Homo-oligomer: A and B are copies of this chain.
């Protein structure tokens, strides 16, 4: 077997699986691991792959991370925001949670929308209040260091006293089996109270979060009125949700 031929084979494997193990290649081609290592090293120097201990990974695979303020999957979240804006009408009263998707939405609300927003997230509140025609009311309470939203009994109490047209929540986990789920007990309590306070419920979730589950159940899928993802409503990925009693956006 020729060297180039071998490296082409390795390249194919990497394109196929995003990674290769030196041992695997060695076994597959019946060559010594040393040779594989040498190949990988060479290919890494040519910039074709990323060499790591144990094998190599695809160059395009290096995970997304920007040290500063880049939000993960921002494009998708902005798409979601655009879709939600269509749900918002003048003189609506809306209740929102926190999360980066919600912040993207808060930024991109059109300035001419005249509405009232209740929110448990100070970050969202600060973004919303930049729009002239919005009335922003913070549901105060103990601020959670990890999720940066207000939680605790006083939040639940306040939520019991209000009734809003639409509740906007980000989903942490969402699946046909388990419904909407979350990982934190306190968060679940607050989300439930928020859902109770709203006539309609809209859940936003990037497609990646669909079909994932967390430990605690927030609500059933049939309580959800709108499910907003960055995908087109007829995307096959959403088909499990299509029969259900919710509108896909």
* Distance to closest chain B CB from A226 (angstroms): 21
Whether A129 sits at the interface, judged by CB under 8 Å, is yes
Say whether, besides A4-B52, A100-B60, A142 and B146 are in contact (CB < 8 Å): no
**Identical copies of this chain, number:** 2
CB closest chain-B residue, reference A143: B136
Chain A interface size band reads 35 or more
Whether A35 sits at the interface, judged by CB under 8 Å, is no
Whether A15 sits at the interface, judged by CB under 8 Å, is yes
Chain B residues, CB < 8 A from A2: 19, 21, 52-55, 57
Q: Which residues of A contact B (CB under 8 A)?
A: 2-5, 7-8, 11-12, 15-19, 21, 47-48, 50, 52-55, 57-65, 67-73, 99-100, 122-123, 125-126, 128-130, 132, 135-148, 150, 154, 158, 172-173, 183, 206, 208-209, 212, 214
Q: Can you list 16 residue pairs at the A/B interface with Cβ under 8 Å?
A: A2-B19, A2-B54, A3-B54, A8-B62, A15-B64, A15-B72, A16-B206, A16-B209, A17-B172, A17-B173, A19-B146, A47-B67, A60-B71, A65-B123, A129-B143, A130-B145
